[in-house]
Amino acid sequence: MLVFQYMPNKSLDYFIFDQERSMLLNWPRRFDIVMGVARGLLYLHQDSRLRIIHRDLKISHILLDNEINPKISDYSIARVFRGQQTEAKTKLVIGTYGYMSPEYAIDGKFSLKSNVFSFGVLLLEIVSSKKNRGFCHPDRLHNILGHAWLLWNEGKTMELMDACLKDSCVESQVLRCIQVGLLCIQKLPIDKPTMSSIIFMLGNEKAMLPQPKHHSFFIERSSEGDDKGCYT
């Protein structure tokens, strides 16, 4: 028997990806959720007795309590690192495409930075209210990661934000969240920030953030709707 704390507000995707319910989560609430998830991952990486790699962190696995506080759920495929272990490899890649780091999806390698990549995807989805794999721009055949990167390069970063957040957002926080999200999805694990750095960057307006490099999972969709991945 498994016993879990009851979460009356269901999962985050119940709100974020619904046009009407997404308006119930204004920017302060979304930012609090982002910080809550980040602190949860920091606990898994640093404060827990054993370091835990979730391997399937996504919007639907973030549950909300009666005060909209986030809880990371579903550790069914999580792996534990002991001692000084920092990386592992598996022949059986399981999880959710769109949230997997490229080194895990292609080579089966996973580490603490795999959680960081998934957090970056989740962060961009929370800002935009768009699913990474379900997003389709009429003029650009990219997923939400590619779209965010292009907007960043063109100096149109705020266009990524869900329009329903316009009246409640703090623009500097939104920009900071998008930049951190792009840092999390960079190509090489060594380039991805640690969760402690992420919390510092998100929570400190005066913190200097590095410029993100071109991310690795630049996916385009053909006109028939098929996905094709391209690493750069």
Catalytic residues: 56
Q: How many CB atoms lie within 10 A of CB 221?
A: 18
If you ran DSSP here, which 8-state letter would residue 99 be given? T
Contact 106, 48 (CB under 8 A): no
If you ran DSSP here, which 8-state letter would residue 198 be given? H
- The region, left, alpha or beta by phi > 0 then psi within -120 to 50, assigned to residue 8 is alpha
Contact 174, 27 (CB under 8 A): yes
CA angle 65, 69, 71 (to 5 degrees): 80
- The region, left, alpha or beta by phi > 0 then psi within -120 to 50, assigned to residue 155 is left
User: Tokens representing 219?
Assistant: 């996916």
